[in-house]
């Protein structure tokens, strides 16, 4: 019983019961507990009541679509959400990330790829939670130790807060981590693959377009003119960097 309680719990949401059963069996083989839902309303209620450690969430669902479920869960829970869909259109990726999804995978996918993403997102969430707990348990650090400043960009590492020219920006934890990683090495170009490995937590199974969409979302929040960014810069064909000033 005690050992079972330590297992991570994953909520699987898909209207195709065969897919849910297949995913549940494979996740249980890997040592996870599973919860299952076949429509959006059931998924939302189950997520809020049971508070799983990660959610696999299909976009096309009866009663309440996956994007709406994701948005409403995000208002209450800070749980990793991995969107699943048969669609491979850029607009879905943008919407999924905008509504708070942490990752995105399209059907058909291999079980090996899915498991790699599940493990990576759980690991990243655990690391982030440990950092937050540590910060809450410590005395406040001196400001110069906990604030990272590069030009107009300022990151409060203790509060997970981003300011641009003194104004607080509303960024997700993932967006904050992208900026933090780049701001720690201003002027140095970082490839999409490295960002996937260091921020998302996996090497070969990630879709580099996820990085591009996340960068686009960050720019919409921190740049005056997204067509002519001054803070988060693209090195065409290579990757991204924070302008050193």
- pLDDT band for position 146 (50/70/90)? confident
Q: Taking 90 as the threshold, does the pLDDT of residue 136 lie above it?
A: no
- Sign of the four-CA dihedral 220, 185, 228, 104: negative
Task: Give per-residue pLDDT as tens, 39-89.
Answer: 999 999 999 999 999 999 998 899 999 989 998 998 888 888 998 877 666
| Helices and strands per DSSP (H, E), number in the chain | 10, 12
Q: What is the CATH number of domain 140-242?
A: 1.10.10.10
- pLDDT, residue 2, reads 42
What SS3 state is found at 97? helix
Task: Give per-residue pLDDT as tens, 183-203.
Answer: 999 999 999 888 888 887 765
CA-CA distances (angstroms) from residue 143 to 129, 139, 155, 175, 245?
A: 22, 12, 11, 22, 20
Q: Taking 60 as the threshold, does the pLDDT of residue 28 lie above it?
A: yes
- pLDDT band for position 5 (50/70/90)? low
Each domain of the chain, given as residue ranges in start order, spans 2-129, 140-242
Of 135 and 113, the structure prediction assigns the larger pLDDT to: 113
Selected from 3.40.640.10, 1.10.760.10, 3.40.50.2300, 3.90.1310.10, the CATH number assigned to the domain covering 2-129 reads: 3.40.50.2300
Task: Give per-residue pLDDT as tens, 87-117.
Answer: 666 656 666 677 778 888 888 888 888 888 8
- Sign of the four-CA dihedral 146, 149, 154, 155: negative
Mean pLDDT of the residues in the chain: 83
């Amino acid at each position: 019983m005690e050992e079972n309680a330590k297992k991570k719990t994953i909520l699987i949401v898909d209207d195709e019961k065969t897919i849910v059963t297949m995913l549940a069996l494979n996740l249980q083989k890997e040592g996870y507990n599973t919860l299952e839902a076949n429509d959006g309303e059931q998924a939302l209620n189950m997520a809020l009541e049971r508070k799983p450690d990660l959610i696999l969430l299909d976009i096309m669902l009866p009663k309440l679509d996956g994007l709406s479920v994701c948005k409403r869960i995000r208002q209450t829970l800070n749980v990793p959400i991995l969107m699943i869909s048969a669609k491979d259109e850029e607009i879905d990726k943008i919407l999924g990330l905008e509504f708070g999804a942490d990752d995105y995978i399209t059907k058909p996918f291999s079980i090996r790829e899915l498991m790699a993403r599940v493990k990576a997102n759980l690991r990243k969430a655990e690391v982030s939670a440990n950092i937050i707990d540590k910060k809450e348990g410590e005395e406040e650090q001196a400001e110069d130790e906990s604030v990272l400043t590069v030009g107009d960009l300022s990151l409060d590492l203790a509060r997970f807060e981003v300011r641009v020219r003194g104004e607080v920006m509303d960024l997700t934890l993932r967006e904050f981590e992208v900026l933090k990683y780049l701001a720690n090495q201003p002027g140095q170009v970082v490839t999409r693959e490295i960002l996937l490995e260091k921020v998302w937590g996996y090497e070969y199974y990630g879709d580099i377009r996820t990085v591009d969409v996340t960068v686009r979302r960050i720019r919409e929040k921190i740049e005056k003119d997204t067509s002519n960014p001054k803070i988060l810069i693209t090195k065409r064909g290579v990757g991204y960097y924070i302008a050193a000033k």
